[in-house]
Chain A
Amino acid sequence: MSEEPTRGGAPTPDHELDPVIHAQARLRVMVALSVLREGDRLAFPRLQELLGMTAGNLSIHLRKLEEAGYIEVVKTHQGRTPTTLLGLTRRGRLAFEEYTAAVKALLSLTEEK
């Protein structure tokens, strides 16, 4: 990830943005799952492949998102193989929309200055 220098005089976003989502790894998980249609779920290995994260690392962040009630983790079986299916909850979808709107508001604030 390339780091952009923070613009001078810009308000620090961290106080206003949802801290559960406002971390690179979890943000990427939320973005990927938000692209899924409502009513669809994605299996763990596919999400892992899409994001290029290790299974252990992804699990940690998924747990945090699940604890916040943003994602739903469904353990099921595909034949004999256990499968974990993931999707945003309604609350998670709303939280992500609000987060995106807040980022955009902050950005227009920084651009005005």
Chain B
Amino acid sequence: MDHDPDERAPASPAETLRLIEAGRAAAQRDFQPDPRLTYGPWGVAWLVGFGLLFLRFGPDGRVLLAMPELLPLLVLYVLLVAAFVISGSAGMRAGRHVRGVSSIQGLRYGVSWAAAFAGVVVIASRFADLLPDAEASLLWSGLSVAVVGVLYIAGAATWQSREMFTLGVWITLVNIGGFLAGPGWHSLAISLAGGGGMLTAGFVEWLRWRRGQC
């Protein structure tokens, strides 16, 4: 058995430690999804989708860039669905074949998103009918983004992620600020500060992830 290379001990303590650290970093990278895939697509969806909403439905009903009325919302929804698919499959890939507390945690966190948005849809669709168009869309986006901010903070508590916590607090503040500024401005705030914040958080977390320190 001793001729088996697998049975051979590492050559030196330094080599042993190097093996431990390299193995740990590789496993950590493997068990955590790439932050570029979990944050990036959402950041792009907000940046582009809310950016188009701002350009088409600007402050005080101004049209800053002429385009079909349905286009911004259509683009936003398509990008959000794409983000859901991309980040979801990255998460599932990282979590596949892992059973136990992590899978229960992930499942319950997923359910919290579904539960929150079920509430948003029921409440907003009832009241949106009673409001002028600009106010109705502010209600929809304000409620939705509020939920996203809170769920990022909750996710940070679940996974002990500093970036996620900062992002959740940031999104909450941007949402409140934009909401108070009113229709049009809210879209601009979510596009630049919200989408930009997500891309930044993804980049910062990726710097740690690629070294296997997540």
Chain A positions within 8 Å of B, measured between CB atoms, are: 1, 3-7, 10, 13-14, 17, 22-28, 31-32, 34-43, 45-46, 50, 57, 61, 85, 87, 100, 103-104, 106-107, 110
Given the interface contacts A23-B8, A42-B98, does A4 sit within 8 Å of B27 by beta carbon?
A: no
Closest residue of chain B to A14 (Cβ to Cβ) is B9
Determine the main DSSP class of B at the interface with A. helix
Instruction: Collect the chain A residues with CB atoms within 8 Å of residue B99's CB.
Output: 40-43, 85
B12–A10 contact, CB under 8 A? yes
B13–A106 contact, CB under 8 A? yes
Asked whether B17 is an interface residue with its Cβ less than 8 Å from the other chain, the reply is yes
Q: How many residues of B contact A (CB 8 A)?
A: 30
Taking each of B24, B26, B99, which has the highest tally of chain A beta carbons within 10 Å of its own beta carbon?
B99
A24–B12 contact, CB under 8 A? no
Instruction: Collect the chain B residues with CB atoms within 8 Å of residue A103's CB.
Output: 13, 16-17, 20
Cβ contact of A27, chosen from B5, B10, B13, B102, cutoff 8 A = B10
Asked whether B69 is an interface residue with its Cβ less than 8 Å from the other chain, the reply is no
Given the interface contacts A37-B101, A40-B102, does A22 sit within 8 Å of B24 by beta carbon?
A: no
B12–A6 contact, CB under 8 A? yes
Given the interface contacts A3-B11, A3-B15, A13-B9, does A41 sit within 8 Å of B20 by beta carbon?
A: no
A25–B14 contact, CB under 8 A? no
Cβ contact of A24, chosen from B5, B13, B24, B102, cutoff 8 A = B5
A5 to B30, CA, bound (A): 31
Given the interface contacts A39-B101, A43-B99, does A57 sit within 8 Å of B6 by beta carbon?
A: yes
B19–A4 contact, CB under 8 A? no
A25 to B9, CA, bound (A): 9
**From residue 1 to 59 of chain B, which have CB atoms closer than 8 A to chain A?**
5-17, 19-20, 23-24, 26-28, 30-31
